[in-house]
């Protein structure tokens, strides 16, 4: 069989299956992490709002009254809650930070009055301002306002500004609770690590399984390919690996169909369509193969040429349909006669080749005598007609290395049988 470069489909299948799988895993991780972050941010927002409400409640209980500014003796201002100066009273905000780890600030208008946030030197950033955009948004909101990114100095915070009251001068007073973004981000990253490992393990396992499966699939496809190529080269004795035939899926169905196709093609190419016997080409090839084997083994065999007597007159008298029926009948009897002792081939028209690969000349002669007797006693009915035929046979022993010479010798004996009265065997 001609060798061709084996372009394996396995790597293509593996890339086509693994790439979408990896892409899907990446997308799952991306969207999963985004969803997880949103959930965490919602929890942070909820936490900050709850803490701001606790601070507001505590402030209301400890320091009842309304907020207002009063000028101090040194020309500055102090923030009062009722009749109590709360400027610099950081006990509440410090206690909350100690318990929760959150930064707490009391904002009056746009200025931080109380706060737990410190600068690089460790000093509270009391008196520092907040952006006008935040001031306006807080002022116009009746509910706590949550921000995912608020920069205080160079550090970013999640922050909740809760407008808790209006001062006597209609200035908005708010409680701001903040949590450093880097702390939340680290928490998110640490929480995602198990998810990443699980995702990677799932992908690796799926990829390994996919590689194994596509590798086996490629192997099955390769076996089918080799089998079909051998059939295309005319090797009808090619066998398909049993592992393909044993599969219960589509590949097994394809394999079994390919075997049936091989059988059908073999019959179509090697057999005579009318009689079912080997055709001339196949008969000659089988004879040549037999001669090679017999020469190596040193055993003998026999060859006979047969011709139906007066076949032309049968066609002329009863028609070609009747002639075809005679050929079918002769072919059937020959096939039965040669079973397990050789093979029969339609050589052309009403001429046949019989090869005995398991009989000597004496046994072959006796077998042919019996065949002739069966043929004489066989009646082919055609409408109201009963047709009987005889056959002339030339028989020779396989004592030549040349198949053409052997066939000519058998044909010469057939010629003698035809010219000496027909319905006889000449050896």
The residue extents of the domains of the chain are 14-188, 275-426
Q: What is the CA radius of gyration of the chain?
A: 52
Whether pLDDT at 3 is above 60: no
**Phi, psi (degrees; rounded to nearest 5) at 260:** -65, -35
Averaged pLDDT for residues 96-109: 90
> What whole-number distance in Å separates Cα of residue 47 and Cα of residue 40?
10
CA distances from 46 to 51, 58, 175, 178, 381 (A): 9, 18, 15, 12, 102
* Tens-digit pLDDT profile for residues 302-343: 999 999 999 999 999 999 999 999 999 999 999 999 999 999
* Tens-digit pLDDT profile for residues 331-389: 999 999 999 999 999 998 999 999 998 788 999 999 999 999 999 999 998 888 899 99
Whether pLDDT at 7 is above 70: no
CATH no. of 14-188: 3.30.450.20
Q: Quote the percentage of the chain above a pLDDT of 70.
A: 95
At residue 1, the pLDDT reads 43
Whether pLDDT at 269 is above 50: yes
Phi-psi region of 298 (alpha: psi -120 to 50; beta: other; left: phi over 0): left
Q: Which CATH architecture has domain 275-426?
A: 2-Layer Sandwich (3.30)
Comparison of pLDDT for 71 and 407, the residue scoring more? 407
At residue 291, the pLDDT reads 87
Residue 2 banded pLDDT, cuts 50, 70, 90: very low
The per-residue pLDDT of the chain, averaged, comes to 86
């Amino acid at each position: 069989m001609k060798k061709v470069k084996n372009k394996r489909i396995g790597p293509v299948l593996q890339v086509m299956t693994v790439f979408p799988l990896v892409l899907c895993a990446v997308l799952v991780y991306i969207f999963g992490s985004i969803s997880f972050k949103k959930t965490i941010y919602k929890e942070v927002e909820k936490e900050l709002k709850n803490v701001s409400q606790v601070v507001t409640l505590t402030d209301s209980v400890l320091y009842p009254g309304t907020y207002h500014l009063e000028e101090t003796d040194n020309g500055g201002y102090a923030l009062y809650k009722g009749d109590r100066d709360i400027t610099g009273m950081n006990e509440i905000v410090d206690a909350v930070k100690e318990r929760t780890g959150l930064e707490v600030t009391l904002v009056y208008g746009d200025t931080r009055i109380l706060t737990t946030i410190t600068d690089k030197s460790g000093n509270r950033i009391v008196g520092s301002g907040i952006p006008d955009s935040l001031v306006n948004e807080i002022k116009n909101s009746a509910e706590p306002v949550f921000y995912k990114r608020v920069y205080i100095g160079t550090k970013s915070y999640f922050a909740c500004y809760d407008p808790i009251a209006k001062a006597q001068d209609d200035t908005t007073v708010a409680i701001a609770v903040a949590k450093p973004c880097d702390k939340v981000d680290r928490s998110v990253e640490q929480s995602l690590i198990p998810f990443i490992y699980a995702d990677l393990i799932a992908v690796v396992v799926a990829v390994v399984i996919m590689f194994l499966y596509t590798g086996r699939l490629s192997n099955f496809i390769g076996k089918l390919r080799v089998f079909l190529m051998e059939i295309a080269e005319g090797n009808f004795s090619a066998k398909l690996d049993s592992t393909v035939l044993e599969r219960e899926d589509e590949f097994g169905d394809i394999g079994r169909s390919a075997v049936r196709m091989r059988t059908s093609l073999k019959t179509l190419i090697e057999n005579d369509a009318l009689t079912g016997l080997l055709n001339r080409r196949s008969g000659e090839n089988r004879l040549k193969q037999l001669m090679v084997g017999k020469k190596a083994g040193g055993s003998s065999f026999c060859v006979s040429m047969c011709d139906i007597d007066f076949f032309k007159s049968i066609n002329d008298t009863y028609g070609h349909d009747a002639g075809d029926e005679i050929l079918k009948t002769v072919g059937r009897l020959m096939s039965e006669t040669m079973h397990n002792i050789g093979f029969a081939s339609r050589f052309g028209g009403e001429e046949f080749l019989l090869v005995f690969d398991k009989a000597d000349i004496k046994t072959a002669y006796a077998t042919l005598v019996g065949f002739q007797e069966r043929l004489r006693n066989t009646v082919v009915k055609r409408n109201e007609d009963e047709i009987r035929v005889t056959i002339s046979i030339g028989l020779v022993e396989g004592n030549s290395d040349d198949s053409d010479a052997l066939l000519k010798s058998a044909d010469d004996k057939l010629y003698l049988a035809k010219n000496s009265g027909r319905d006889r065997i000449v050896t």
